Structure 1
Amino acid sequence: MFLKEVVLQNFRGYKNQHRIQIDQLTAFIGKNDAGKSSIFDALAVFFDHPLGKIDASDICVHAGVSGELRIGCVFTDFPGSITIDASSVTSLSDEYLLNVDGALEIHKIYEFSDGTLKKPKVFAIANHPTASGFDGLLSKKNAELKKSGETANIDAGVDKRSNAALRKAIWGSAADLKLGHSEIQLDKEDAKAVWEQLSNYLPEYALFRADRPSTDEDSEVQDPLKVAIKQAIEEVQTELDAVKEKVKARTLDVANRTITKLADFDENLSSQLNPNFKSDPKWDGLFKLSLTGDDDIPINKRGSGVRRLVLFSFFRAEAERLREEHKKGNIIYAVEEPETAQHPGNQRKVIEALQAIAEADGCQVMLTTHVPALASLLPIDSIRYVCSHEQNGRDVRIADDDVIRTVVADLGIIPDKRAKVLVCVEGPHDLQFLRRISGLFRAEDDTVIDMFADPRVALVVLGGSTLKEWVNQHYLKNVGLPEVHIYDRDELKNGKYKYQDDKDAVNARRDGSIGFLTAKREMENYLHIDAISEALHPVIGVNFTFALSDDCDVETEIKTQLSGQGKIQRRSIKHWLNEDAASRMTIGRLKERIGYDEIKGWFTEIANRVV
């Protein structure tokens, strides 16, 4: 299931009811103590995460002495059918358990009075029958449903053993169900069975907090390492069983001979003794895995930034394992302040990695930050600005012109005063491509600017579909730096390319800025077919033979040739192309694709603006 919205009411700073929109990638930006982490903690409570603890101190201080605290989630991509028992297969729509928008909305409600928080109840917020005699059917037992069915004169052919069939027939007999906003409690009769089934489809929620020690003794590190040991033991279990039997035989022989010798001293005592193994050996308890560097320096003795990067990697591995073991369709990565203890170069890599994860099937990423460098790397439509609000305690605003201006004003957009030029691209994949191709040029000529390491260059991801807003509103003009914009040309429509006007607008500024459209359709069109095959063949076992032209849609061509036969593991095809395939490019291959002079020209224009 895909999380589309979070609902908070009277939870910490969130007074009244707040509905927070969630996308594939969602970035909560705001000042310290704005309420960003509270959203993550509320989700931890909803998904029963081990870190999700709730008590009376979580009640909003402005909520009054009695009321209710709500934590809700709205989902799409829910299962088409639900099996309540062997004889009852139904659907959420048949049970009228979807909200007015056709989505699944679940609230956990905690009533409170005099500062005491009651046990939560689970409700579906639904567009449900309210007509007299046709409401409340989900809470009725089979005998009650049969009586309601007799009253409604339902067809005699209905399977009266099935509650779902009875409800459907009863509702079907109504002239007007008077559907309306209802809260259906999911802890009674078949409603409880529906919730138990739905719980199996909830996304796996993986929370990575900012305030933690980050050592290799942390449970987040030890758990995946223990799993690795367990899996390794399972693979050699046959050999271990053989060792166990040999040890048993050897020790039993020694024990029996000892008892025989004991009989020489006390035959009565020796007759009472029998050799016996109390338990089988715990193989996994014999091994403890730790991480050390080349000089055998343990991870907990390394710098905090290194420890956090390693821990973040373990966290990702453990989250993916949980999804596989629980057979959950989706996973939500919630990462607080990924910039913590990281060099600016690593901050950028972490954000690019999170953006790539968000593009993989079944993955959503949420992050919090108050660092302008990260804000500038995020697509605009992913941004949620969190701030205080007089009446509601907190406000979470979706990015629009006003929000972006506020973010730029509150956080700034350029963190490093050494910056001399802004390099603006559409998305993170463009950065990945340029990172790898720039390495080719620098290997050939070390005077080529290293735009990813040079502090005079600041990188800004404009967010694709919202790029026009950045250009038209010129959000970055107050920074006072020239800009180099590089956009994909894309397709020709109505005599113009997608960003042609935006490129022309940048070039018309007369402030030293310059805009480019790629001569080819997209960055991927500069790749060589051999580099693509070398990158993807080990994964999917296919050599690509399509004609890689300047105008083709490379991703679509790959999908067409695969025709559903190959499986790209947890990563989008664009991710593979702009990282793995781009890493296999050479100067010769780039020249063969007739991209050498054009791309080198981009780097030259960037270098001209840092002097």
Structure 2
Amino acid sequence: MKLVKVILKNFRGYNNTTIELHPDLNVLIAENDVGKSTILDALNIFFNDDAKIDTSDCNIHSEDKFIEIGACFRLEDNELVILDATNPTSLKEEHLLNREDLLEIRKVINASGKTITKSSISVYLNTFQPTLFEKPLITYKQSELKQLLNQYKLEIENFDSISKSKKADMRIALFSHLISEQTRFEEKQINIKDIQDDSLKTWDKLRDQLPYYTLFQSDRTNTDGDKEVQDPMKAITKEVLADLKDKLEEIKNEVVSKVEKIGEETIEKLKEFNEEIANQLITVPEIKSWDSLFKFNLDTDDGVPLNKRGSGVRRLILLSYFRAQAEKDAIRNNRRNIIYAIEEPETSQHPNYQRMIIDSLKTISEKEQYQVFITTHTPEIAQMVEKDSLILLQKDIEGHPQVVKNEDIKMQQITKTLGILPSIHSRVVICVEGPNDVNFIKNINKFVPEFKEIIDLENADISIYYLGGSNLKAWVNEDHFRKSNIFEFHLYDGDIPKYRDIVNTMNEKNDGRRFGVVTSLREMENYIPPRLIEEQFGVNLDEYLYMWNEFDIPEHLKKCTLPHITNMREKEKRIKQILNGCLTKKITADLLKEHGVYEEIAGWFQQIKEIYERTSGLTTTSR
């Protein structure tokens, strides 16, 4: 279950806004006081009933004084959800998804009173329902469903096998029997209270099946005191002591008992000196909490306490503690997915640490059970992520925050907002589709001496950039290519017709600066000799050799290799990294000749050499 949309109505500065999300990583970008943190706060209020909200959170211009926070989730195939009693049900089969087949939940908050209480909050499902019944079938009681089902007793073939004790089974049986191609559907909001079963609170049950959302805010104190560094250690100490509660209680009772006994013996001896004073005394234990006895510092190897280190390092520790606790809480609450929301993770960090943090968060977000939100003002971070992960917020003419949806305008405004400049300094740029293509080109040039003799890419003034599915940095640089005198060589895979059209158009223009080639094989992986792939992955590819030119190698390997990686997207990514990484370092000229692709690849490097020589006037560039 992944969060794919957020809907905000009358919440702080937002009037009526829908924000489409990336299933992995979302980077919110805006100038100060536009509404980045507001989105994260809204999600916190949606997911966590104990999150703070008051009447001042209602948009001051709204007339009805109702705040609405909506969230849309894409469910996995065959994912079941418990709505009534303990009977899992398919929301799709029950027609409880919206028009886009998303689970859409709206939290509506009445902010017209002086304060907001639990009674001020209502939860709705936004559904796309068949117009077959007087009210949504999910709201019928068990007795009502039995009565309704009995009306079709003679028409439903498997009537006797339908469980009359499970409401979900009866509902699905009715839908299956009554829905046809002529059935009309309409959008219908269902108050979650109308679904309530006597044995449970439906919203509590549904909420517990949603991703676990945890927010790390940027305005935490950042001093040398306990608040920043000691709090995590204190919390860890309390957690450990809680596990030892019974043993510690036993020790405490034994200490109190022995001290009281010795105290009584002392008082008895005192009576021999002065009975009046002795009678005024009593042993009273004054017991402090166990955690007050312990104080831990995180010292570095050179003996410097962490709270004397820089604020950036302290913040890294706090962020790590935040992650560790979030994952424990998720496990404790039986949540399968976790959403991390982190405000300005770059705060107080050196650029090297910024890159390390974002690389880590990107890796986390690509795992199946995680989704990450961050806000940032830093160009370095924005340039490291895919364009689809970037969300730009700007105020409209009425001052309401809105998402910039036009892709070109979004990218232009982000580069302007963050002050991102091109970073191209080479005379020639090789443009390929993705990062794996970059690795392929670099490795075969470096490890096949015959290609390196044509032109040494590593030592020439040449850069290689990937443009397909590119990040912001690549987008900026690509635009810069068009406005510069840099020579370009474009090498695209042959499996996508539009790339062939782009290359043909480029070559027809014959502007003397841009040149393009489309591979004769499907993609770079097809140029890797099959023998190397078989040895690396322990597979036999003989039966696919006749169709090798068009064979989807990563797709095939996903089905029969790396069984320890269960997420198919992660598996494909890893396979491509292996193919274009370590395997390309084992390629030789003889293997490529045997494979029948040596001359084609040599032709790529020969053309790059000719372009490079044209920029410098040199007769040779081999080194």
Q: Give the alignment's TM-score, normalised by structure 2.
A: 0.67
Structure 2 partner of 1:68: 66
Which amino acid in the other structure matches residue 15 of structure 2?
K
Deviations 1:386-436 (A, max 9, x none): 111235822213352333233334444328899999997766788999999
CA distance in structure 2 between the aligned counterparts of 1:580 and 1:278, rounded to whole angstroms: 64
Which amino acid in the other structure matches residue 377 of structure 1?
M
Structure 1 partner of 2:45: 45
Which amino acid in the other structure matches residue 128 of structure 1?
Q
Q: CA deviation at 1:171?
A: 5.8
Structure 2 partner of 1:196: 204
CA distance in structure 2 between the aligned counterparts of 1:38 and 1:394, rounded to whole angstroms: 10
Q: CA deviation at 1:76?
A: 1.3
After TM superposition, the structure 1 stretch with the greater mean CA deviation from structure 2, 250-259 or 574-583, is 574-583
After TM superposition, the structure 1 stretch with the greater mean CA deviation from structure 2, 457-466 or 315-324, is 457-466
Q: CA deviation at 1:511?
A: 6.4
Q: CA deviation at 1:204?
A: 1.5
Q: Does 1:99 align with 2:94?
A: no
CA distance in structure 1 between the aligned counterparts of 2:525 and 2:224, rounded to whole angstroms: 40
CA distance in structure 2 between the aligned counterparts of 1:413 and 1:503, rounded to whole angstroms: 32
**CA shift in 2, pair 1:321/1:373, >3 Å:** same
1:556-595 → structure 2 map (5 Å cutoff): 559=558, 562=561, 564=563, 566=564, 572=570
Between Structure 1 and Structure 2, which shows a larger proportion of helix residues?
A: 2
CA distance in structure 2 between the aligned counterparts of 1:582 and 1:449, rounded to whole angstroms: 17
1:258-273 → structure 2 map (5 Å cutoff): none
Structure 1, unmatched stretches of 5+, are 441-447, 534-542
Q: CA deviation at 1:41?
A: 1.4
Structure 2 partner of 1:395: 402
Q: CA deviation at 1:289?
A: 3.3
Deviations 1:421-479 (A, max 9, x none): 99977667889999999xx9xxxxxxx9999xxxx999987452799x959x9523587
CA distance in structure 1 between the aligned counterparts of 2:317 and 2:139, rounded to whole angstroms: 49
Q: Is this contact kept in 2: 1:429–1:574, CA < 8 A?
A: no
Equivalent residue for 1:475, pick from 466, 471, 479? 479
Q: CA deviation at 1:121?
A: 0.5
CA distance in structure 2 between the aligned counterparts of 1:569 and 1:262, rounded to whole angstroms: 72
Q: Does 1:8 align with 2:8?
A: yes
CA distance in structure 2 between the aligned counterparts of 1:232 and 1:592, rounded to whole angstroms: 61
Q: Is this contact kept in 1: 2:330–2:338, CA < 8 A?
A: yes
C-alpha RMSD over aligned residues: 6.1
Q: CA deviation at 1:380?
A: 1.9
Equivalent residue for 1:212, pick from 220, 225, 229? 220
Which amino acid in the other structure matches residue 197 of structure 1?
K
CA distance in structure 2 between the aligned counterparts of 1:325 and 1:434, rounded to whole angstroms: 47
Q: Is this contact kept in 2: 1:11–1:69, CA < 8 A?
A: yes
Q: CA deviation at 1:501?
A: 5.4
Which amino acid in the other structure matches residue 26 of structure 1?
N
CA distance in structure 1 between the aligned counterparts of 2:61 and 2:75, rounded to whole angstroms: 36
Equivalent residue for 1:297, pick from 298, 301, 304? 304
Larger of the two Rg values belongs to structure: 2
Structure 1 partner of 2:134: 134
Which amino acid in the other structure matches residue 188 of structure 1?
D
Which amino acid in the other structure matches residue 41 of structure 1?
D
CA distance in structure 2 between the aligned counterparts of 1:293 and 1:593, rounded to whole angstroms: 53
Q: CA deviation at 1:92?
A: 2.0
Q: Does 1:122 align with 2:119?
A: no
After TM superposition, the structure 1 stretch with the greater mean CA deviation from structure 2, 554-563 or 379-388, is 554-563
CA distance in structure 2 between the aligned counterparts of 1:516 and 1:31, rounded to whole angstroms: 42
Percent identity over paired residues: 29
**CA shift in 2, pair 1:215/1:561, >3 Å:** farther
| Structure 2 SS opposite 1:28 | strand
| Structure 2 SS opposite 1:493 | coil
Deviations 1:24-75 (A, max 9, x none): 222223322232222111111111176x4222222122212x2421100001
Which amino acid in the other structure matches residue 464 of structure 1?
G
**CA shift in 2, pair 1:508/1:221, >3 Å:** farther
Q: CA deviation at 1:261?
A: 7.7
**CA shift in 2, pair 1:560/1:257, >3 Å:** same
Structure 1 partner of 2:596: none
Equivalent residue for 2:186, pick from 170, 180, 186? 180
Q: Is this contact kept in 2: 1:7–1:72, CA < 8 A?
A: yes
**CA shift in 2, pair 1:179/1:296, >3 Å:** same
| Structure 1 SS opposite 2:325 | helix
**CA shift in 2, pair 1:245/1:593, >3 Å:** farther
**CA shift in 2, pair 1:306/1:418, >3 Å:** farther
CA distance in structure 2 between the aligned counterparts of 1:304 and 1:418, rounded to whole angstroms: 35
Deviations 1:271-317 (A, max 9, x none): xx9999999994x6644433233333333333333333333333333
Equivalent residue for 2:382, pick from 375, 386, 396? 375
Structure 2 partner of 1:464: 469
Equivalent residue for 2:495, pick from 470, 475, 493? 493
CA distance in structure 1 between the aligned counterparts of 2:24 and 2:342, rounded to whole angstroms: 14
CA distance in structure 1 between the aligned counterparts of 2:583 and 2:178, rounded to whole angstroms: 71
CA distance in structure 2 between the aligned counterparts of 1:466 and 1:416, rounded to whole angstroms: 14
**CA shift in 2, pair 1:151/1:300, >3 Å:** same
**CA shift in 2, pair 1:493/1:590, >3 Å:** closer
**CA shift in 2, pair 1:29/1:436, >3 Å:** farther
Q: Is this contact kept in 2: 1:76–1:104, CA < 8 A?
A: yes
Which amino acid in the other structure matches residue 493 of structure 1?
D
Which amino acid in the other structure matches residue 351 of structure 1?
I
CA distance in structure 1 between the aligned counterparts of 2:269 and 2:44, rounded to whole angstroms: 67
Q: Is this contact kept in 2: 1:107–1:122, CA < 8 A?
A: yes
Q: CA deviation at 1:4?
A: 1.1
CA distance in structure 1 between the aligned counterparts of 2:336 and 2:235, rounded to whole angstroms: 21
| Structure 2 SS opposite 1:26 | strand
Structure 1 partner of 2:84: 84
Q: Is this contact kept in 2: 1:109–1:120, CA < 8 A?
A: yes
CA distance in structure 1 between the aligned counterparts of 2:225 and 2:589, rounded to whole angstroms: 51
Structure 2, unmatched stretches of 5+, are 448-455, 593-600, 616-623
**CA shift in 2, pair 1:365/1:218, >3 Å:** farther
**CA shift in 2, pair 1:290/1:461, >3 Å:** farther
Q: CA deviation at 1:95?
A: 3.7
Q: CA deviation at 1:9?
A: 0.9
Q: Is this contact kept in 2: 1:382–1:399, CA < 8 A?
A: no
Equivalent residue for 2:358, pick from 335, 351, 360? 351
CA distance in structure 2 between the aligned counterparts of 1:524 and 1:296, rounded to whole angstroms: 55
Deviations 1:298-352 (A, max 9, x none): 3333333333333333333333333333332212222333333333333333333
Q: CA deviation at 1:207?
A: 2.0
Structure 2 partner of 1:54: 53
Q: Is this contact kept in 2: 1:385–1:399, CA < 8 A?
A: no
Q: CA deviation at 1:522?
A: 6.1
**CA shift in 2, pair 1:500/1:124, >3 Å:** same
Deviations 1:53-104 (A, max 9, x none): 222222122212x242110000112632426325x45332344321122211
Q: Give the alignment's TM-score, normalised by structure 1.
A: 0.69
CA distance in structure 2 between the aligned counterparts of 1:12 and 1:373, rounded to whole angstroms: 29
Q: CA deviation at 1:572?
A: 3.8
Q: Does 1:323 align with 2:330?
A: yes
